[in-house]
């Protein structure tokens, strides 16, 4: 499979692309979490742990 990407040149377009990519990644993560065979409480704990981890890295 070949994929061609035309990367935006303007700073505004790059920011918009980054925002849309982050939104897509978050949606995919949520879909995967919802599919997990565990309780809602465990899923929420997982999301909290991920958010905490990401904040520590920033």
Q: What would the mean pLDDT of 34-49 be, rounded to a whole number? A: 96
With H, G, I as helix, E, B as strand and everything else as coil, classify residue 39.
Answer: coil
Scanning 1-58, the segments in alpha helix (DSSP H) are 11-35, 40-57
| Residue 55: pLDDT over 90 | yes
Query: Looking at residue 58, what is its pLDDT?
Result: 80
Q: Report pLDDT for 6.
A: 87
Please tell me the predicted confidence (pLDDT) of residue 5: 84
Q: Quick one: pLDDT band at residue 40, thresholds 50, 70, 90?
A: very high
Report CA torsion sign: 11, 19, 25, 47.
positive
pTM equals 0.72
Q: How far apart are CA 49 and CA 45, in angstroms?
A: 6
What does pLDDT average to over the chain? 94
């Amino acid at each position: 499979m070949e994929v061609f990407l035309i990367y935006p040149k303007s700073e505004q377009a790059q920011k918009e692309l980054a925002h849309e990519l982050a939104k897509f990644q978050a949606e995919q993560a949520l879909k995967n979490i919802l599919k997990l065979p565990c309780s809602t409480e465990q899923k929420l704990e997982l999301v909290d742990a991920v958010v905490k981890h990401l904040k520590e890295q920033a």
